[in-house]
A and B are shown apart, each in its own frame.
Chain A
Amino acid sequence: MSQPPALAVFPSPPPIDLARTLDLAGYRWKDFALGDDAIRHQPDGGWDGAVVMCDDDPDGGWAMCRALRRRDDPVGRVLVMVAGSQLPDLELRDDLFDDFCLAPFHPRELEARLRHMFWRQMGPDAEGLVEYGPLALNPATYQASLGGRPLDLTYMEYELLKYLAQNPGRVFSRETILSAVWGYEYFGGARTVDVHIRRLRAKLGEEHANLIQTVRSVGYRFGQSRWSS
């Protein structure tokens, strides 16, 4: 997702702390007094989530939650805020929210909880999983797997494999790979690329070593050529 998540917020207007926290964290948000208004004014892709304060006006707050949730296409990632004395209200309402926070809230706690709810969109995972056949690379966790089993790589091996796997079928020269993965200032020269490719092939094992193909007198290609069927 290129845009930051869009949040519906209750009450309207929201407390200044809440508005500031959401602004600082970079969310798009709009406040509503009524659930129907929130639905009517939803953005094109729908709401990505909601922050609903139930501490001052619990009835209005829970009504907002119901309006967002009890639809054919319910809004996900709803965070509610309740006062400590209202914790029993959460019981039997588990379907109406995804996370909660005690009011008065601490801005950093709220920010952390929201970030966690939205980490798939906001986090470093934005690059997304790189997958090719049995190989999967997760840039968010730096982890690689082959046929579902962890593949242990050094940092440079990981970066090299990621670079190649993001562009399957494309042929790269050693110089291109070297400057993209190691940076221009790296001394080892283009032999470094060959040496790391061999190490990667060894780790991929006999069965999968051919994921990385040598293209004679040019460089390397990951996966099948785009021109062959």
Chain B
Amino acid sequence: MLDQQREYVLRTVEERGIRLVRLWFTDVLGNLKSFAISPAELDNALQDGMSFDGSSIDGFSRIQESDVLAIPDPNTFEVLPWVDQKGAEARVFCDVANLDGTPLHGDPRQVLRRNLRAARDLGFEFYVAPDIEYFYFAPPTGGPPVPLDQGGFFDLTSADIPTALRKETIRTLETMGIPVEYSFHEDAPSQHEIDLRHTDALTMADSVMTFRFVVREIAALHGVHATFMPKPLEHIQGSGMHLHLSLFDGENNAFHAVDDPYNLSTVAKHFMAGLIRHAAEITAVTNQTVNSYKRLVPGFEAPVHVSWARNNRSGLIRVPVPKRANPLATRIEYRSPDPACNPYLAFSVILAAGLRGIAEGYELPAEADANMFEMDDAMLEKLGIQQLPQSLSDALRTMESSSLVADALGDHIFEWFLRNKRAEWRGYKTHISQFETDRYLRSI
């Protein structure tokens, strides 16, 4: 089938007059990287990969073994839908390998592939559907961000630019084979949410990368800045990326059980228990910026406590009620990740935590359906409810002692990530903020 896929790609390039093929891959921090090749080079690239200097990519490889191969995944070949007068362009996602063809330890896509294989060995296919929030702002000038509108939740003002931008974004995503489930104006000014329909985790991680690119690109074409920064405005809710998760065992949803009041199977409960037990360890990966932790504060519908409930938006895991009791729609919603994460790595650690819960048969703690924002520490302690890490530094310290995360990411990325993020924290820690100047300069 691989040969036919290659043939199909080569033929499409010829028939559609593709001028440039962009090879896409992702660095360890989740930035989309790309280099372009001509159609003449594509045949060779599909067969043998294209070599490039991996030491120029954050987290890929050490200087002494710098040459690596980008191997296009022909199943991800898509013609880019925006028109270029000089001729059409296409993109294809790549797996990155060493020159001998073995997976590069620094390539997040290969890391996710490895974790998905582990799930597959147990008979499970991991499905993910993200709800991605982001803001539209006027182009940044260095000052505070300026929202483009003052619309509220489900605001239906037809003339506003952001709504038109969102519609154009959705049209583009669908043309690229990324189906959208819902989209709406969030309750913060200029904040929007687009929910993608669930698909297998590898395709979804690719789709999240494409999504962020398309949102920014279309905004930029209209002179607007789109941002996935987790908490851009102090008094306004931040942007999350809630992940709807399920495991399929062939055609069956392994999370669904007919005889459970919440329709949750034992597999689902163990998976949730795994997430709850290891939530703090994986948070540095799902929330990887200094700024991420300013979103995870009480009062904004972002989770702060490690708990689960059917309908409690202050909890870490929510169990949504499926529409029309559709067994395929039974799922859990993991609410802490933000859209600034690396989706390949985030999906990897989430899956690893859930699978650990299944393997060890972890017991799911009791549901926490009260509003935990209103509970004091003593009450939380009595209920055995932990908090998520309070800062990037906290999260890194917890991650460092986690063999689960080290196994899921592999030693190379695990160590590189800790080093890189510690440096980020040091930079933040030594920065003197406006908050401090305003508060202390005159009074002390």
Point out residues on A near B: beta carbons under 8 Å: 141-143, 150, 152-158, 174-175, 183, 187-192, 194-195, 198-199, 201-203, 205
B8 at the interface (CB under 8 A from A): yes
List residues of chain A with CB within 8 A of the CB of B249: 189
Q: Are B248 and A142 in contact (CB under 8 A)?
A: no
CA distance A143 to B18 in the complex (A): 14
Which of A187, A194, A202 is packed against the most chain B CB atoms within 10 Å?
A202
List residues of chain B with CB within 8 A of the CB of A205: 174-175
Q: Are A155 and B5 in contact (CB under 8 A)?
A: yes
A-B contact pairs, 25 of them (CB 8 A): A141-B11, A142-B8, A142-B11, A142-B15, A152-B78, A154-B77, A155-B9, A155-B74, A156-B5, A175-B251, A188-B125, A188-B200, A189-B125, A190-B250, A190-B251, A191-B127, A191-B200, A191-B251, A191-B328, A195-B198, A198-B197, A202-B174, A202-B175, A202-B179, A203-B175
CA distance A175 to B250 in the complex (A): 10
List residues of chain A with CB within 8 A of the CB of B77: 154-155
List residues of chain A with CB within 8 A of the CB of B120: 187
List residues of chain B with CB within 8 A of the CB of A202: 173-175, 177-180
Which of A154, A194, A199, A203 is packed against the most chain B CB atoms within 10 Å?
A154
* A155-B179 contact in complex given A142-B11, A150-B16, C-beta closer than 8 Å: no
CA distance A205 to B174 in the complex (A): 8
Q: Are A152 and B179 in contact (CB under 8 A)?
A: no
* A142-B12 contact in complex given A189-B125, A189-B248, C-beta closer than 8 Å: yes
| In-complex Cβ contact of A191 among B16, B125, B174, B180 (8 A) | B125
CA distance A150 to B83 in the complex (A): 13
* A157-B177 contact in complex given A141-B11, A188-B125, A191-B248, C-beta closer than 8 Å: yes
Interface set, chain B 193-215, CB cutoff 8 A to A: 197-200, 203
CA distance A175 to B1 in the complex (A): 18
| In-complex Cβ contact of A174 among B11, B177, B248, B251 (8 A) | B251
Q: Are B5 and A152 in contact (CB under 8 A)?
A: no
B211 to chain A, nearest CB (A): 13
CA distance A229 to B132 in the complex (A): 43
* A199-B177 contact in complex given A150-B16, A187-B120, C-beta closer than 8 Å: yes
Chain B residue with Cβ nearest A191: B248
CA distance A189 to B199 in the complex (A): 12
Q: Are B177 and A143 in contact (CB under 8 A)?
A: no
B1 to chain A, nearest CB (A): 7
Which 6 residue pairs of A and B lie closest in terms of their CB atoms, listed nearest first?
A: A202-B174, A190-B251, A202-B179, A155-B8, A189-B250, A152-B79
Chain A residue with Cβ nearest B173: A202
List residues of chain A with CB within 8 A of the CB of B157: none
B64 at the interface (CB under 8 A from A): no
B401 at the interface (CB under 8 A from A): no
CA distance A21 to B250 in the complex (A): 52
Point out residues on B near A: beta carbons under 8 Å: 1, 4-5, 7-9, 11-12, 15-16, 74-79, 81, 120, 125, 127, 173-175, 177-180, 197-200, 203, 248-251, 328
List residues of chain B with CB within 8 A of the CB of A150: 16
CA distance A142 to B16 in the complex (A): 11
| In-complex Cβ contact of A141 among B9, B15, B74, B178 (8 A) | B15
List residues of chain A with CB within 8 A of the CB of B180: 202
Which of B74, B78, B177, B248 is packed against the most chain A CB atoms within 10 Å?
B177
B74 to chain A, nearest CB (A): 7
CA distance A155 to B10 in the complex (A): 11
List residues of chain B with CB within 8 A of the CB of A156: 5, 75
CA distance A153 to B12 in the complex (A): 9
* A195-B174 contact in complex given A142-B8, A152-B16, A190-B250, C-beta closer than 8 Å: no
B116 to chain A, nearest CB (A): 10
List residues of chain B with CB within 8 A of the CB of A189: 125, 248-251
Question: 8 more A-B contacts (CB under 8 A) besides A154-B76, A191-B200, A199-B199?
Answer: A141-B15, A155-B77, A191-B248, A195-B200, A198-B197, A203-B174, A205-B174, A205-B175
Chain A residue with Cβ nearest B90: A152
Chain B residue with Cβ nearest A182: B1
List residues of chain A with CB within 8 A of the CB of B15: 141-143
A143 to chain B, nearest CB (A): 5
CA distance A189 to B328 in the complex (A): 13
List residues of chain A with CB within 8 A of the CB of B75: 154-156
CA distance A141 to B198 in the complex (A): 31
CA distance A141 to B15 in the complex (A): 7
Chain A residue with Cβ nearest B180: A202
List residues of chain B with CB within 8 A of the CB of A158: 8
